[in-house]
């Protein structure tokens, strides 16, 4: 089998997630690549890219908590909520105390509701909202529940009207929208001028590499992504059954979830206990 797994990439601002994905794919000379969690073009930071069979692992990262650092400029509102958008409103900002800012930040911690931005990939009648936005359309969007685990002030520069904050958020949270909501909480308008993702689940930006510096040795094998799971070296009969997606018999000493490895020690599939000594396929990586 070809080298498969996940590679941690430090995305540069200015390129789309797909463009960075293509760079990595060409750099490593692989046939398949995909990503978990899109970053806006102006954003930078941690991007998880699945390589070859590693693309089948990406769904396991969808619900992981993500961490960001962001710069919020007060006094200007853009159509996209970030620096790439056109300024549509200006308002001279007031001076604020750190105590006041911290109070507003604290009000968002926990479960909260966000109205997704028009410039997002959410679809309405099969059409992404950002396509409608580019045509000058704006439709009503229902608020969505998200969870903000932490939201902290990193710095406040009153001369530059700039607030820097860090946050840990659930799946589906738009940091651009969060920035606009923070500004609104201060009776201001604002937009993000910088955004950097620093963590996805247990993986940190500290371990990431630049796209043009990526090496095959940087790929984290599939089996190393599943800490604590029981590995089973598949027998010839089990290899055949796994290849056909069939159930596999195991004795009762095994836990509810196991991972079968091929003779080369590579992940083949995760199996889940069904009943009467049989396990059924939970996720295959063939």
Task: Compute CA distances 256 → 15, 223, 229, whole Å.
Answer: 42, 17, 10
Q: What is the DSSP letter of 219?
A: P
The Cα–Cα gap between 83 and 251 comes to 58
Q: What is the DSSP letter of 243?
A: H
Active site residue 181: no
- What single string gives the DSSP state of each residue in 42-97? T-EEEEEEEEGGGGGGGGGGTTS-EEEEEEEEETEEESSSBTTSPEEEE-PPPP--
Catalytic residue among 10, 40, 71, 82: 40
| Contact partners, residue 232, CB within 8 Å, separation at least 6 | 238, 250, 254, 258, 259, 260, 261
**Pairing relationship of beta strands 76-78 and 220-221 according to DSSP bridges:** unpaired
In contact, 4 and 220? CB cutoff 8 Å: no
The Cα–Cα gap between 119 and 40 comes to 10
SS3 171: coil
Give me the sign of the Cα torsion angle 106, 182, 112, 61. Answer: negative
Catalytic residues, by residue number, are 40
């Amino acid at each position: 089998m070809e080298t498969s797994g996940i590679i941690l990439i430090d995305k540069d601002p200015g390129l789309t997630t797909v463009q960075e994905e293509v760079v990595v794919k060409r750099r490593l000379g692989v046939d398949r690549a995909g990503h978990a969690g899109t970053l806006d073009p102006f954003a930078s930071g941690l991007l998880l890219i699945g390589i070859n069979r590693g693309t089948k692992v990406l769904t396991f990262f969808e619900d992981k908590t993500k961490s960001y650092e962001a710069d919020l400029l007060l006094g200007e509102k853009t159509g996209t909520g970030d620096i790439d958008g056109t300024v549509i409103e200006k308002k001279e900002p007031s001076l604020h105390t750190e105590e006041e800012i911290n109070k507003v930040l604290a009000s968002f911690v926990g479960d909260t509701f966000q109205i997704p931005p028009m410039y997002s990939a959410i679809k309405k009648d099969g059409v992404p909202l950002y396509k409608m936005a580019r045509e000058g359309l704006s439709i009503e969007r229902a608020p969505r529940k998200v969870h903000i685990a932490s939201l902290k002030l990193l710095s406040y520069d009153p001369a530059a009207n700039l607030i820097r904050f860090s946050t840990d958020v659930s799946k589906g949270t738009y940091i651009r929208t969060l920035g606009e909501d923070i500004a609104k909480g201060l009776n201001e308008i604002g937009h993000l001028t910088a955004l950097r993702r620093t963590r996805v689940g247990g993986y940190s930006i500290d371990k990431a590499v630049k796209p043009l510096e990526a090496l095959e040795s940087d790929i984290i094998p599939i089996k190393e992504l599943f800490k604590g799971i029981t590995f089973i070296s598949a027998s010839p009969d089990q290899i055949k059954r796994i290849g056909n997606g069939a159930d596999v018999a195991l004795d009762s000493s095994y836990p509810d979830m196991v991972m079968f490895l091929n003779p080369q020690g590579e992940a083949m599939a995760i199996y889940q206990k069904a009943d009467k000594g049989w396990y059924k396929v939970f996720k295959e990586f063939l």
